[in-house]
Each structure stands twice: as C-alpha cells, then as structure tokens.
Structure 1
C-alpha cells in the first residue's frame, strides 16, 4: 500500500468515525412512569367481630319487635277501654295516658337507637339507618 492510498484510507476513517457516531441513534429512555398510587387499605373485620355485630343487630331487632308487639297490645287495650267507656272525663284520661305512653315508647326507641349507634361507632362500623317504630 502506498503512502497516498494509506493517507486516503486514514482520512476516510477519520471522517467516517464521527459520521457513524452521529448516525447512531441514542437509545430512547422510557418516560418516567408516575409513582404507583397508594392503594386504599380496607380493614375487614375479623370473623369474631362480624359475628358479634350480627348478634348485636339481631338482639336489637328482637328487642324492637318485642317492643312493637308490646306497644300494639297496649294500644289495643287502651282502644278497647276507651270504646267501652261512656264517661267523657274517663275517655280524656285514657287518651292522655295513651299519648303519654306513645311519647315514652318513642323516647325509649330513640335511646335504644342512639345506644346502638354509639356502640357501633365505638367498634368502627356504621350503624344502620333508623327504620321507624311500630304504632306511629
């Protein structure tokens, strides 16, 4: 190989290397993924807690049913007494007694509901919506 051809090859290499380097594409870095969103932690009550809540609800429901039956019997007895009474003063007393009993029953029901809701909140659960009481 002659000097001139060697110079020619060297000059071509000197030109070709930077051109080849520029021609190479830079590897594309993947876009930075957003950090993973924190997952909501849902605390599931244990089986014992679930069972206790179910027992509490059932006891409350049984008590409410018993109170509803008791209230209905009292109301029926008052109605029978009122219908059998001819004295207007006695009818007025029976009506007043019935209104007073209704207020007492409502107050007891409200107190029971508040107690159940407080107990449920203390355990960290939600209390069911009030469904009303019988005899209203």
Structure 2
C-alpha cells in the first residue's frame, strides 16, 4: 500500500500507512478504566486510533508535536486560507462600490470584523505549530 491517503481523505486518515515487510514488533499496554477513557477522548479528538496516538506520542520530537497534530494544524491553515480568499473578495467588491458611489457599504463593518476574526484564527493556528 502506498503512503498516499485515498482522495477525499487527505487529512483524515485514522491509521498509519503500511510499511514494506509489515511491522515486526508488537507491544501490549494495560491501562486502567480511567486511562482508557482519557486515551479514547484524546484519540477521538485527533481522529486517530489509540495505537496510532500512543506511537505518535511516544515518538514525538522534543516539541511534543505529533504528525497528526501537525496535519490538523495544516488542515486548519488551508481552511483559513480559503476563508481569507473569500473574505478578501468581499472587501474588494465593497471597496469598488465605495469608490464608485462615494458611500461606505453597510456590510463593510461586518466584513472587516470577519477579517479580524480570521486574522486571530490564523495567529492561533500558527501559535499552535511548534518549531523544531
């Protein structure tokens, strides 16, 4: 099986990709019911399986960022990019109308608020990325 995720699931793969020759080693971990609940919540929040969560967490770099967390941050940045493109289109249309008529459009305030909210989301997403 290739490393690529099926189309439409670029950022939604729950299991790790297969490796040539398979995985030769197996580890069993026993947990309490409370720990199981925490693992289930964490895995569900990251949209991964518990084994993937455990492996990524254990093998994460010193920054404590797993590949799944980086993938989720990238997906959020792509979504923010699309949102920003849509909002900028609205701002351009309103600026064009304002320049033509000399009157500020009523939607201008709401659109600029959306720009500010998007900028905050971008800042938060970037802050969520840890640098190596």
Q: TM class, shorter-chain normalised?
A: 0.3 to 0.5
Largest Rg, 1 or 2: 1
TM-score relative to the length of structure 2: 0.40
